[in-house]
Amino acid sequence: MAPQLADLTVGQEVARAQVVVDRARLVRYAGASGDFNPIHWNDRVASSVGLPGVIAHGMWTMGAAAGPVADWAGDPGAVVDYQVRFTRPVPVPDPGEAVVEVVGVVGALDAEAGTARVDLTVTVEGARVLGKAQAVVRLA
């Protein structure tokens, strides 16, 4: 059942998830997005431009953070606005994986518009990777 605006309060946690990314997922994302920048698959190139190694695509990270909000809403089309600031890259080790932690809390309610703003905290190993991440969700 989809969440109801009347049942929400500011500060209420509505989404929590861990999203895992490994090198294979980066390759699949590169193919789907058309972003074949070698910083997303080649350690030598990533290091040569000052990165800690291969990093996840920013748009992958942004999308991964929005997923738990869409799941909570019950319909990805209910997310009517979404914005973030990229604050630091997500290094993806090889072998291994990075775990992106997403926590969403209600930041504001607008009864007239029928929307809830969900403020997201998005971290990897305790460090924020997205800042001012906010999704506006239209609810009944």
pLDDT digits (tens, 9 = 90+) for 76-123: 999 999 999 999 999 999 999 999 999 999 999 999 999 999 999 999
Biggest distance spanned by C-alpha atoms of the chain: 53
Asked whether 3 and 95 are in contact (CB, 8 A), the reply is no
Residue 1 pLDDT: 78
Look over the chain and give the mean of its residue pLDDT values, rounded to a whole number: 97
Helix or strand or coil: residue 119? strand
Which pLDDT band, with edges at 50, 70 and 90, does 2 fall under? confident
How confident is the model over 44-63, as pLDDT tens digits?
999 999 999 999 999 999 99
Average pLDDT over residues 62-82: 97
Asked whether 46 and 105 are in contact (CB, 8 A), the reply is no
Which domains are seen in the chain, by residue range?
5-138 (3.10.129.10)
Which pLDDT band, with edges at 50, 70 and 90, does 124 fall under? very high
21-57: b (≥16 Cβ within 10 Å) or e: bebebbeebbeeeeeeeebbbebeebeeeeeeebbbb
Which pLDDT band, with edges at 50, 70 and 90, does 140 fall under? confident
What percent of the chain has pLDDT above 70? Answer: 100
Cα torsion 72, 76, 79, 85 to 10°: value is: 90
Residue 70 pLDDT: 97
Neighbours of 64 (CB within 10 A): 24
